[in-house]
Amino acid sequence: MKAVEVIDDLKRRFPNEPEYIQAVEEVLTTIEDVYNENPEFERYNLIDRLCIPDRIFAFRVSWVDDKGKVQNNMGYRVQHNNAIGPYKGGIRFHSSVNLSILKFLAFEQTFKNSLTTLAMGGAKGGSDFSPRGKSDMEVMRFCQAFINELWRQIGPDTDVPAGDIGVGGREVGYMYGQYKKMAREFTGTFTGKGLEFGGSKIRPEATGYGNVYFLLEMLKTRGIDISGKRVAISGSGNVATYTAEKLLSLGAKVVSMSDSDGSIYVPDGLTREQLDYIFKLKNIYRGRIREFAEEYDCQYFEGERPWQRVACEIAMPSATQNEIDGDDARALIANGCIAVSEGANMPSTPDAIREFQKARILYAPGKAANAGGVSVSGLEMAQNSQKLSWTEEEVDNKLKQIMSDIHTQCVKYGTEADGYINYVKGANVAGFMKVARAMMAQGVL
């Protein structure tokens, strides 16, 4: 396999899908050597079958807004690969959602889920519907209409969706409710459910906590203590807030957070009370991060991400894809950044990744660092099928162990001759090998 040729072919076949091509390119260029050491992979044309999703559902979602007007959105589910377990991956509601973004996310999810050591295939879904500015009833009607189309394609052993951008506990609750009504069954078909109806302890926290656990493993390789370190976080949603919470509990300083309108800068670090304010602002009042700056009289950079002006040792991008470009990466390094651990999926552009690796700083790609979320989703599925509920401590301990195992796999497959751990390569090779072997064993499907 020549990665360049496969990528050129995909570009020709899918010319308007830049995010998908970007994600595929990152994986193929790092697994090329390992792939070519296994000639049987090529005989089975494994790479083509792994790059192209098993199937994609696309549908119109029609719903009625509070003014009685009929609204139409697009809905999608990309079932990428189920070689090692049922399709599994979140649902994103955001105005930017399109097939390219969902295909990249489903592709990434396949390798991430493989890394977790749990039995989950890869999928992703979503809609260009944005919950921002919508009433609860509008969100509910949209979720119900979305599931009316999708429910036949998902199920506890078929495809298990969860949350992502714009889809939190509220949206999962509405979607699960409608699924339950249509399918006439109470099974673990969604994860991220409320605790009262099958949700797992620590699931809301899992992506953020898991990212911090992964960061601690990375820092350990260089004997660095997290306490007192300044951390810039982007986003102020699920992943960002629980990342911040765990960091504060470990004595680190969270100096920045953001939303799609701008970022705040708090050089001495957020207090617990301030973080609680952000939590309420985003989840209860559904407000903007600018309102935090007004409340606490701190610096606010309208329309800017945290990376250019903030002095920090650690960056944890936790908003969206391609939010750190080459210039941002150079600014971060110049301002003293020694570690980047990705809460979001593909937040760094290829240029930014090159800069981090060239500077030999610690750099963990999302598919390793943010795998804690889907890992606890996997634990939620296990609890649901046994009709059991584990304690917070049990789930947290399992999460820590999984993140440590993922780190070990990255070290095993990613350590370079000079001792530098290339986490991108490590995660891609480890994730790929398991899926590839399972696909080989199951024949051409």
Could you tell me if 115 and 424 are in contact, meaning their C-beta atoms sit under 8 angstroms apart?
no
User: Which 3 state secondary structure label does DSSP give 130?
Assistant: coil
Of 237, 269, 306, 414, the one binding ligand NDP by CB under 6 A? 237
Closest CA to 341 of 324, 104, 331: 324
Output 122 or 235, the one with its CB closest to ligand NDP.
Answer: 235
x/- mask, ligand NDP, residues 122-161, rule CB under 6 A, reads ----------------------------------------
Which segment (28-36, 292-300, 313-321, 433-441) binds ligand NDP by CB under 6 A? 313-321
For 393-434, the DSSP string reads HHHHHHHHHHHHHHHHHHHHHHB-TTS-B-HHHHHHHHHHHH
If one asks whether residue 199 binds ligand NDP (CB under 6 A), the answer comes out as no
Q: How far is the CB of 222 from ligand NDP (least distance, A)?
A: 25
C-beta neighbour count of 312 within 10 angstroms: 24
x/- mask, ligand NDP, residues 88-127, rule CB under 6 A, reads ------x-x-------------------------------
Residue 440 host element (H or E)? helix 423-442
């409608």: which residue's tokens?
Answer: 178
If one asks whether residue 236 binds ligand NDP (CB under 6 A), the answer comes out as yes
Closest CA to 107 of 376, 404, 367: 367
Q: How far is the CB of 235 from ligand NDP (least distance, A)?
A: 4
What's the Cα-to-Cα distance from 25 to each of 19, 86, 232, 369, rounded to whole Å?
Answer: 10, 25, 28, 19
Output 101 or 150, the one with its CB closest to ligand NDP.
Answer: 101
Could you tell me if 147 and 63 are in contact, meaning their C-beta atoms sit under 8 angstroms apart?
no
């634990």: which residue's tokens?
Answer: 379
Q: Which residues contact 137 (CB under 8 A, 6 or more apart)?
A: 66
For 321-336, the DSSP string reads TT-B-HHHHHHHHHTT
Please say if 425 is a catalytic residue. Answer: no
Show the tokens assigned to 393. Answer: 């401590």
Which segment (11-19, 24-32, 231-239, 414-422) binds ligand NDP by CB under 6 A? 231-239
Residues in the chain: 445
DSSP-derived pairing of the beta strands 339-341 and 87-93: unpaired
If one asks whether residue 164 binds ligand NDP (CB under 6 A), the answer comes out as yes
Closest CA to 231 of 370, 321, 335, 322: 335
Q: Which residues contact 29 (CB under 8 A, 6 or more apart)?
A: 3
Of 50, 102, 115, 165, the one binding ligand NDP by CB under 6 A? 165
Output 112 or 425, the one with its CB closest to ligand NDP.
Answer: 112
Amino acid making up residue 397: N
d(CA 371, CA 270): 26
If one asks whether residue 235 binds ligand NDP (CB under 6 A), the answer comes out as yes
x/- mask, ligand NDP, residues 239-278, rule CB under 6 A, reads xx------------------xxx-----------------
x/- mask, ligand NDP, residues 357-376, rule CB under 6 A, reads -------------x--x---
Which of the residues 103, 112, 124, 134 is marked catalytic?
Answer: 124
User: Which 3 state secondary structure label does DSSP give 142?
Assistant: helix
Could you tell me if 379 and 355 are in contact, meaning their C-beta atoms sit under 8 angstroms apart?
no
Amino acid making up residue 79: Q
Closest residue (Cβ) to ligand NDP?
Answer: 237
Q: How far is the CB of 9 from ligand NDP (least distance, A)?
A: 27
Site for ligand NDP in 23-42 (CB under 6 A): none
Output 259 or 313, the one with its CB closest to ligand NDP.
Answer: 259
Of 207, 256, 348, 422, the one binding ligand NDP by CB under 6 A? 207
Residues in contact with ligand NDP, counted by CB under 6 A, come to a total of: 25
Output 3 or 198, the one with its CB closest to ligand NDP.
Answer: 198
**For the chain, how many helices (H) and strands (E)?**
17, 12
Q: How far is the CB of 238 from ligand NDP (least distance, A)?
A: 4
Site for ligand NDP in 338-357 (CB under 6 A): 343-345
Q: How far is the CB of 435 from ligand NDP (least distance, A)?
A: 18
Task: Please report, as ranges, the residues that interact with ligand NDP according to CB under 6 A.
Answer: 94, 96, 163-166, 168, 207, 235-240, 259-261, 318-320, 343-345, 370, 373
* Residues with catalytic function: 124
